[in-house]
Amino acid sequence: MRILQVSAEIFPLLKTGGLADIAGALPPALLAAGCDIRVLLPGFPAVMAGLKDPVRVGAFGTPWGDQVEVLFGALPAVSQGAHTVFAYVLSAPALYNRPGNPYEDAHKQAYADNHRRFAALGWAAAHLAHGLDRLWRAQLVHAHDWHAALAPACLAAWNDGRGARVPSVFTIHNLAYQGVFWPQNFPDLGLPGPMFSMHGLEYYGQISFMKAGLTYASHITTVSPTYAREIQTPEQGCGLDGLLRDRAGSLSGILNAVDDHVWNPAKDVHLKHHFDVRNMAGKALNKAALQTEMGLAVSADAPLFAVVSRLTEQKGLPLVLAGLDEIIGRGGQLLVLGNGDTALEQAFAHHARGNPAQIAFRTGYDESLAHRIFAGSDIIQVPSRFEPCGLTQMYGLKYGTLPLVRRVGGLADTVTDTDLETLDNQSATGIVFNEFTVEDYRHAVRRAFALYHRRSDWSHVRQTGMRIAFDWATAAQRYTTLYESLIQAP
């Protein structure tokens, strides 16, 4: 099967969140499963720098009158072993060669022409599915998140919707980020006028790229089974739950996985002290090194709670701030790595300055430091209001760092709460709480302390988590089965 994966990011070349990890890990897994997969990416500087031996395969005109060149080459940084990942990259410096992150300028303001930048990505997918590259033509397009969500609409609109349609899969990584633009931007998209309607891209008078993917994709997936159910409710549907209920027969959840080539404490290139479930000595050494690096008091007995996250209300960071005294007052430590909401950044920085022996804060995202945090911490916190899948808790499990999570989305699918029953049947892997309240969060923190002080139980729970295999081979097989059914459908 010839599959074209479309995304705005790909690890390790360009990453702002978990989307990049999935976009980078899935292609090698699909290659190993027998798919002929190529990826399509915008020509951001980091992507262009990672493209080996690029050749021009063609160009196409945008609806607003520009020409976009399409380059083809290999991505050595994404490839694994004998499985070389090949990519199409849009060479359009005016669209993609900019400071800031892929979506915002240095002042955290979204680029005013983001609708054009990602419409070009959608049309490139349609062109590659209809012969732009004379040597390779996609049989199915797999688009990830709102940045690539116009691809299914462009495929549906190709040749005014006449002729055989190339099937598409659209994966929701986070329904809350929808790519919403002003209605006056619709002509720039190059789509037929009737698509700007309640049954198309129109969303409360505006344009929603996310809605385009949900409406026109042949099949919709999310990144966990529980989230697939939750987004069909008003509470978590972000205004799109009605559409998702209508499409429930073409909606499924495929749980994300962890790339063992990148996240493996026995081989992690970012660690000085390796360890595994049979020999945990390196875990304690990593903890002491991390405490020293971050200026915390070096104490083996102080449970180290960590956060590696975008700093947003969705991720439950206000709960962490409100329950901070519960951690510190009981002799624990808190380490936070992330950026986002300015008020949250300032609050964590303020607490770190006031108590540097117990609280450390590092703004931004540092991939190497993130690995050291997972290896050296005792508890990784993901107390989210909603969570499509979450990779953080899975990284924690692999590194013997117990997740403290809320029972929602993919967190509910991947972490088993610790109680007398789950301790007895040896299924416990972390601490899970139910309600998005300070009271429930603080109770979860107290339970984490109680478990930490029961060293034998703590060790058993940690070992159970480390033995769980969140493997990409299983996820890839589920995707290939889905692809086959869509390609073979009449």
Q: Average pLDDT across each block of 10 residues of the chain; the chain has 490 residues. List them in order.
A: 98 93 96 97 98 98 97 97 96 93 90 98 97 97 98 93 87 97 98 96 97 98 97 97 98 95 96 97 98 98 97 96 98 97 97 98 95 98 96 97 98 98 98 98 98 97 96 96 95
Residue 263 belongs to a domain: no
Residue 174 and residue 41 share a domain: yes
In a domain, 276, yes or no: no
Q: What is the pLDDT of residue 324?
A: 97
Residues 58 and 126 in one domain: yes
Domain carrying residue 199: 2-257+472-488
Q: How many CA atoms lie within 13 A of 137 on its CB side?
A: 8
Q: Same domain for 409 and 478?
A: no
Burial-class residue 84 by CB neighbours within 10 Å (0-12, 13-18, 19+): middle
In a domain, 274, yes or no: no
Indicate whether 269 belongs to any domain: no
Any domain includes 411:
yes
Is residue 434 domain-shared with residue 289, that is, in the same domain?
yes
The answer to whether residue 272 sits within a structural domain is no
Cis peptide, bond prior to residue 192, ω within 30 of zero: no
Are residue 451 and residue 483 in the same domain, yes or no? no
Say how many domains are in the chain.
2
Asked whether residue 219 is domain-assigned, the answer is: yes
482 in the same domain as 449: no
Residues 33 and 122 reside in one and the same domain: yes
Q: What is the CATH number of the domain that holds 380?
A: 3.40.50.2000
462, 476: one domain: no
Name 459's Cβ contacts closer than 8 Å, sequence gap at least 6.
none
Does residue 484 share a domain with residue 413? no
In this structure, the answer to whether residues 365 and 483 fall within a common structural domain is no
Claim to verify: residue 191 and residue 94 sit in the same structural domain: yes
Are residue 246 and residue 155 in the same domain, yes or no? yes
SS (H, E, C) the chain: CEEEEECCCECCCECCCHHHHHHHHHHHHHHHCCCEEEEEEECCHHHHHHCEEEEEEEEEECCCCCEEEEEEEECCCCCECCECCEEEEEECHHHHCCCCCCCECCCCCECCCHHHHHHHHHHHHHHHCCCCCCCCCCCEEEEECHHHCHHHHHHHHHHHHCCCCCCEEEEECCCCCCCEECHHHHHHHCCCHHHCCCCCCEECCEEEHHHHHHHHCCEEEECCHHHHHHCCCCCCCCCCHHHHHHCHHHEEECCCCCCCCCCCCCCCCCCCCCCECCECHHHHHHHHHHHHHCCCCCCCCCCEEEEECCECHHHCHHHHHHCHHHHHHCCCEEEEEECECHHHHHHHHHHHHHCCCCEEEEECCCHHHHHHHHHHCCEEEECCCCCCCCCHHHHHHHCCCEEEEECCHHHHHHCCECCHHHHHCCCCCEEEECCCCHHHHHHHHHHHHHHHHCHHHHHHHHHHHHCCCCCHHHHHHHHHHHHHHHHHCC
Does residue 268 form part of some domain?
no
- Burial label for 242, CB within 10 Å (0-12, 13-18, 19+), is exposed
